Copies of this chain bind each other. A is one copy, B any other.
Amino acid sequence: METPSAESLLSQTVSRLADESSYQQLFHSCRDEEALPSARVLQQIVDVCRAILFPGYYGNERINRQTIKYHIGVMVETLHKLLTKEIQAGICFSNQRRGIGPDVAVSLSEQFISHLPELRELLATDAEATYNGDPAAQNIGEVIFCYPGFRAICNYRIAHQLYLLKVPYIPRIITEQAHSETGIDIHPGAKIGHHFSIDHGTGTVIGETSVIGDYVRIFQGVSLAGAKLPPDENGNAIRGVARHPVIGNHVTIYSNSTLIGPIRVGDGATICGNVWLTHDVPAGETVHQYNAENENTII
């Protein structure tokens, strides 16, 4: 900011950028005492959940059978406090706050915590399925400690529980954090059964209204994508309608396949890699790139 002309160029730019007409659509005006959700705190929340769910693998590694109750007591209290604050921030950010007091966030946070034991049970089945499905895995500990697929499923299961409690925004941010770390993008609204595994997983997308059965195994680059819906009578996008695939039990989907629209894939079916699939698949069938041609393509 040295020569007069440079000074004036920068000053003009400041004026243009501070002009209300420039920023109005892209400005978030936070009411007093309201904070935006914090990516950093949400990461901490997921870390505390992991430390509670998988003691000794995450969090304090010296935890033992004598002291575990102290540690879980302190961590649950920490989780309660952090989560309550973020739930409030999410409610504020969604503009749904009218008439909603802080008690709601406290209660939602408690309800989430009360479901942690079930989350642990489900995740135990996912770890087992991942280990059984990957000849390269040495043991279940390795799965819990280093597998990105398992990590993404863990974030999803946490986020899905918050989604069921109708907490706004927070679930999405939690799955997006796993997305950034692992390349696996599971919408918190998807419904996924037990013994679920994702191998490698980079590029895998599971959309909002997907339904996945038990014992399903998915590889990298697989999309369970939404059909493009026609707009409503006013020309607006219709939101919340079922528009993603429904996958049965014991299904395997190989890398880079795209399943699009509310199609049904029957129990025990196999979808090979690089398939563009827009129609139903009967139970037990195998679909290859060269037999996947669709009469009833939706696009």
| Chain A interface (Cβ < 8 Å from any Cβ of B) | 1-2, 6-7, 9-18, 20, 22-23, 25-30, 32, 35-37, 52-57, 61-62, 64-74, 76-77, 80-81, 93-95, 106-107, 110, 113-114, 116-117, 120-121, 123-124, 127, 132-142, 144-148, 168-169, 172-173, 176, 179-183, 185, 187, 189, 200, 202-205, 207-208, 219-221, 223, 225-226, 229, 237-241, 243, 254-258, 260, 270, 272-276, 286, 288-290, 292-294, 297, 299
Which of these, B2, B134, B221, B237, contacts A132 with CB under 8 Å?
Answer: B237
**So how many copies of this chain end up in the complex?**
6
Do A135 and B237 touch across chains, with their CB atoms under 8 A apart?
yes
Do A14 and B180 touch across chains, with their CB atoms under 8 A apart?
no
Which of these, B70, B121, B286, contacts A74 with CB under 8 Å?
Answer: B70
- The minimal Cβ–Cβ distance linking A93 to chain B, given in whole angstroms, is 7
A146 to B170, CA, bound (A): 10
Which of these, B22, B26, B55, contacts A57 with CB under 8 Å?
Answer: B26
A15 to B114, CA, bound (A): 11
Do B293 and A290 touch across chains, with their CB atoms under 8 A apart?
yes
Q: Which chain B residues border A57 with CB–CB below 8 Å?
A: 26-28, 36
A6-B110, A13-B76, A146-B169 known, 7 other contacts, Cβ within 8 Å: A13-B116, A14-B69, A26-B127, A67-B73, A94-B138, A183-B202, A254-B276
* Contact A136 to B77, CB < 8 A, known contacts A202-B185, A256-B274: no
Do B62 and A30 touch across chains, with their CB atoms under 8 A apart?
yes
Which of these, B1, B37, B181, contacts A67 with CB under 8 Å?
Answer: B1
- The minimal Cβ–Cβ distance linking A294 to chain B, given in whole angstroms, is 8
- The minimal Cβ–Cβ distance linking A153 to chain B, given in whole angstroms, is 14
